[in-house]
Amino acid sequence: MPLSEKILIVDDERFIRMALGEALRSWGYETFEAENVAEAKKAFDDLEPAIALLDIDLPDGSGLDVLSDIKEKRPNTIAVMITANVDVPNVITALRSGAHDFIGKPVKMEELRVTLRNALETKELRREVKQARIERSRGFSFSEIIGESAALKKSIDLAQRVAVSDIPTILLHGETGTGKDLFAKAIHYASERANAPYLAINCAALPATLIESELFGYEKGAFTDAKQRKEGLFEQAQGGTIFLDEIGEMELALQAKLLRVLEEGVFRRVGGLRDIPLHATIVAASNKDLKKASEEGGFRLDLYFRLSVIQIDIPPLRERGDDVLLLAQHYIERANQKRRGVKLRGLSPEVARMFRGYRWAGNVRELRNVIERASILEDGEMVTTAHLPADLTVGGLKTTDGNSVAFALPPDGIPLETVEVELAKQAMVRTGGNLTKAAKLLDISRDQLRYKLKKSGDYESTAAEESA
Ligand SMILES: Nc1ncnc2c1ncn2[C@@H]1O[C@H](COP(=O)(O)OP(=O)(O)OP(=O)(O)O)[C@@H](O)[C@H]1O
Ligand SMILES: [Mg+2]
């Protein structure tokens, strides 16, 4: 029992207050007294006790008034009613207003002691459950999804609306690393199902028979290894969410079984004869275009239609404009927590430009990895091109005729001259300021390169050490 919890004793009879106070103090509580409604309300405001013992018949009103006042101000307060005339309407009113328990007069001390101990335990448990819930959902809410672009906002907006609806199936579609997992969890934790289980299964990672028994469960003896009956995810997730990741990889035979579950709202354990109703929301995810896959025969068209009633398309990172910079900054700050020495401040302008134009085939995951790597290798305060993977600086993109290029045209275009100057400068940096070598890299003459650099006003600084 937590010691020295504050208890407010509200009773008009001095003798009762004294007797209760003495007992309570001997059990380790800190006690305070009030003898009428007015005093009780004031004492409650001043002292904020964890527990209130409330007599109902008070000289200036009813203990039930004190109760509703208390519950309104601090709902977690434990209120125990103590009264000589336990009549039913009072009991109902008190319990409705949130009283924890009723104790008749004369008070049996042992009863009071147990009541208080249970009440405090319940309170502590509630607090723990609440805390656990907060911890579990931390990192899974929509507010953790970074991005301001219209494209992303559109997906978030739809997902938020779907989360609070009772739509039974949702399809998330997006390239690898776009945040399908993140969205699925955010939807679950924003829904009424947040306190029920969120269970995920990857349809690409396991053989079909295993996925089937994982999802549907099985009866004892359904197959050789079925020594015990086993509940599947459909059963375990009752009231919650099942995340079917990479649904596009599910075998056709199993797709048919899944379709039946979605259409009829019931399922059977493998080897079972009884239909069990499904009360879980199915969130399926795919990086494939399922419509195309079903036209080509790799996915059931009817299942696609069933799943895609609500389809949320998560845009690739390259279509999210400056979100790439926001995300980069987010991962920089995260990397800083682990980084020794100087903290990273941000991206060099050159890197920022590259990031905006890069293809990001691995989307946010790729970006995260790039920043993590740079934060380890980089000595300075900025992420520079020096520690970016070659993929990003060269050959990250294919030109229209299939060759590798370092640049992609940014969404809102870029002056060609800026590109030239940028590459000229990079060539100078890479060759340590050697004009001849730099010109060679660019397949132009020294004079041409010198001219370009001069025009940009950067010749003195970048070519200062040139000796050739
Ligand atoms: N908008 C975002 N804001 C913050 N973090 C993000 C965002 N999008 C993705 N992430 C992070 O990027 C990583 C990849 O995201 P996630 O695993 O959800 O992608 P996915 O679409 O499920 O990929 P895959 O198809 O490969 O399974 C995760 O660490 C995720 O937290
Ligand atoms: Mg995923």
The answer, yes or no, to whether any atom of ligand 1 lies below 6 A from the CB of 177, is yes
Best residue for ligand 1 mutational test, from 148, 181, 324, 333 (most atoms within 8 Å of Cβ) = 181
Instruction: Flag whether 218 is in a domain.
Output: yes
Indicate the burial class of 418 (C-beta count within 10 angstroms; 0-12, 13-18, 19 or more). Answer: exposed
Residue 174 alpha carbon, nearest atom of ligand 1: 21
- Report the CATH number that the domain containing residue 331 is assigned in CATH: 1.10.8.60
Instruction: Flag whether 336 is in a domain.
Output: yes
Looking at 275, 299, 315, which one is the last position of a domain? 315
The answer, yes or no, to whether any atom of ligand 1 lies below 6 A from the CB of 321, is no
Q: How far apart are CA 233 and CA 213, in angstroms?
A: 9
> Are residues 300 and 344 located together in one domain of the fold?
no
Phi and psi at residue 363, in whole multiples of 5°? 55, -140
Looking at per-residue confidence, does 154 or 462 come out higher?
Answer: 154
Which pLDDT band holds residue 2 (cuts at 50, 70, 90)? Answer: very low
Q: How far apart are CA 347 and CA 1, in angstroms?
A: 54
Whether the pLDDT of residue 465 is over 70: the answer is no
> Are residues 293 and 346 located together in one domain of the fold?
no
Looking at 406, 433, 455, which one is the last position of a domain? 406
> Are residues 155 and 235 located together in one domain of the fold?
yes
Rounded alpha-carbon distances, angstroms, from residue 238 to 195, 221, 343: 11, 24, 47
Best residue for ligand 1 mutational test, from 175, 326, 365, 368 (most atoms within 8 Å of Cβ) = 365
Q: Which residue from 253, 251, 235, 233 is spatially nearest to 243, judged by alpha carbons?
A: 233
pLDDT, tens digit, 9 for 90 and up, residues 256-287: 999 999 999 999 999 999 999 999 999 999 99
Q: Which residue from 72, 6, 15, 61 is spatially nearest to 39, judged by alpha carbons?
A: 61
The answer, yes or no, to whether any atom of ligand 1 lies below 6 A from the CB of 159, is no
What pTM value is reported for the model?
Answer: 0.63
Average pLDDT, the chain: 88
Check residue 428 and give its pLDDT: 85
> Are residues 442 and 389 located together in one domain of the fold?
no
> Are residues 216 and 258 located together in one domain of the fold?
yes
Segment 389-413 mean pLDDT: 58
Phi and psi at residue 443, in whole multiples of 5°? 60, 40
Q: How far apart are CA 440 and CA 291, in angstroms?
A: 49
The protein residue with its alpha carbon nearest to ligand 1, atom 31, reads 182
* Bridge partners, residue 82, by sequence: 55, 103
The protein residue with its alpha carbon nearest to ligand 1, atom 8, reads 179
Check residue 93 and give its pLDDT: 82
Distance 164 CA to ligand 1 centre (A): 22
> Are residues 96 and 227 located together in one domain of the fold?
no
Instruction: Flag whether 456 is in a domain.
Output: yes
Whether the pLDDT of residue 310 is over 80: the answer is yes
Check residue 458 and give its pLDDT: 64
Check residue 408 and give its pLDDT: 60
Distance 310 CA to ligand 1 centre (A): 20
Whether the pLDDT of residue 224 is over 90: the answer is no
User: At 399, which amino acid appears?
Assistant: T
271: alpha, beta or left? (left if phi > 0; alpha if psi -120 to 50): left
> Are residues 162 and 279 located together in one domain of the fold?
yes
Instruction: Flag whether 143 is in a domain.
Output: no
Q: Do residues 280 and 239 touch, judged by C-beta distance below 8 A?
A: yes
Whether the pLDDT of residue 221 is over 50: the answer is yes
Instruction: Flag whether 103 is in a domain.
Output: yes
For ligand 2, an ion, list residues with CB under 5 A: 180-181
Q: Do residues 115 and 103 touch, judged by C-beta distance below 8 A?
A: yes
The protein residue with its alpha carbon nearest to ligand 1, atom 5, reads 145
Q: How far apart are CA 271 and CA 230, in angstroms?
A: 11
pLDDT, tens digit, 9 for 90 and up, residues 31-83: 999 999 999 999 999 998 999 999 999 999 999 999 999 998 888 899 999 98
The answer, yes or no, to whether any atom of ligand 1 lies below 6 A from the CB of 145, is yes
- Report the CATH number that the domain containing residue 210 is assigned in CATH: 3.40.50.300
Whether the pLDDT of residue 400 is over 60: the answer is no
> Are residues 232 and 335 located together in one domain of the fold?
no
The answer, yes or no, to whether any atom of ligand 1 lies below 6 A from the CB of 364, is yes
Distance 77 CA to ligand 2 centre (A): 43
The answer, yes or no, to whether any atom of ligand 1 lies below 6 A from the CB of 36, is no
pLDDT, tens digit, 9 for 90 and up, residues 111-164: 999 999 988 888 887 777 776 676 666 668 898 999 999 999 999 999 999 999
Check residue 130 and give its pLDDT: 74
Whether the pLDDT of residue 461 is over 60: the answer is no
What torsion, rounded to 10 degrees, do the Cα atoms 99, 101, 102, 108 define?
A: -140
> How many other C-beta atoms lie within 10 A of the C-beta of residue 170?
26
Q: Do residues 258 and 212 touch, judged by C-beta distance below 8 A?
A: no
Distance 243 CA to ligand 1 centre (A): 15
> Are residues 175 and 250 located together in one domain of the fold?
yes
> Are residues 175 and 311 located together in one domain of the fold?
yes
The answer, yes or no, to whether any atom of ligand 1 lies below 6 A from the CB of 21, is no
Residue 368 alpha carbon, nearest atom of ligand 1: 12
Q: Do residues 438 and 421 touch, judged by C-beta distance below 8 A?
A: no
The answer, yes or no, to whether any atom of ligand 1 lies below 6 A from the CB of 174, is yes
Burial string for 316-328 (b: 16+ CB within 10 Å, else e) reads bbbebbebbbebb
Count the domains in the chain: 4
Residue 330 alpha carbon, nearest atom of ligand 1: 4
Distance 278 CA to ligand 2 centre (A): 24
Which pLDDT band holds residue 460 (cuts at 50, 70, 90)? Answer: low
What is the dihedral sign for C-alpha 235, 236, 239, 241? negative
Query: Which of 11-25, 78-92, 369-383 shows the lowest per-residue confidence on average (mean pLDDT)?
Result: 78-92
Looking at 82, 111, 135, which one is the last position of a domain? 135
Residue 179 alpha carbon, nearest atom of ligand 1: 18
The protein residue with its alpha carbon nearest to ligand 1, atom 23, reads 177
pLDDT, tens digit, 9 for 90 and up, residues 341-358: 889 999 999 899 889 888
Q: Which residue from 432, 358, 344 is spatially nearest to 396, judged by alpha carbons?
A: 358
The answer, yes or no, to whether any atom of ligand 1 lies below 6 A from the CB of 83, is no
Beta strands in 26-100 (DSSP E): 30-34, 51-55, 57-58, 61-62, 78-83
pLDDT, tens digit, 9 for 90 and up, residues 327-344: 999 999 999 998 888 899
Whether the pLDDT of residue 411 is over 70: the answer is no
> Are residues 129 and 36 located together in one domain of the fold?
yes
- Report the CATH number that the domain containing residue 49 is assigned in CATH: 3.40.50.2300
Run of H or E including 330? helix 323-338
Looking at per-residue confidence, does 310 or 415 come out higher?
Answer: 310
Check residue 453 and give its pLDDT: 87
Check residue 401 and give its pLDDT: 47
The protein residue with its alpha carbon nearest to ligand 1, atom 26, reads 176
Instruction: Flag whether 229 is in a domain.
Output: yes
The answer, yes or no, to whether any atom of ligand 1 lies below 6 A from the CB of 146, is yes
The answer, yes or no, to whether any atom of ligand 1 lies below 6 A from the CB of 329, is no
Q: What's the helix, strand, coil split of the chain in %, to 5?
A: 50, 15, 35
Instruction: Flag whether 142 is in a domain.
Output: no
Check residue 138 and give its pLDDT: 67
* Bridge partners, residue 286, by sequence: 173
Residue 287 alpha carbon, nearest atom of ligand 1: 25
Q: What residues make up the domain containing 276?
A: 150-315
> Are residues 32 and 67 located together in one domain of the fold?
yes
Which pLDDT band holds residue 402 (cuts at 50, 70, 90)? Answer: very low
The answer, yes or no, to whether any atom of ligand 1 lies below 6 A from the CB of 287, is yes
Instruction: Flag whether 246 is in a domain.
Output: yes
- Percent of the chain at pLDDT exceeding 70: 91
The answer, yes or no, to whether any atom of ligand 1 lies below 6 A from the CB of 313, is no
Check residue 76 and give its pLDDT: 86
* Range ranked top by mean pLDDT from 137-146, 292-301, 384-393: 292-301
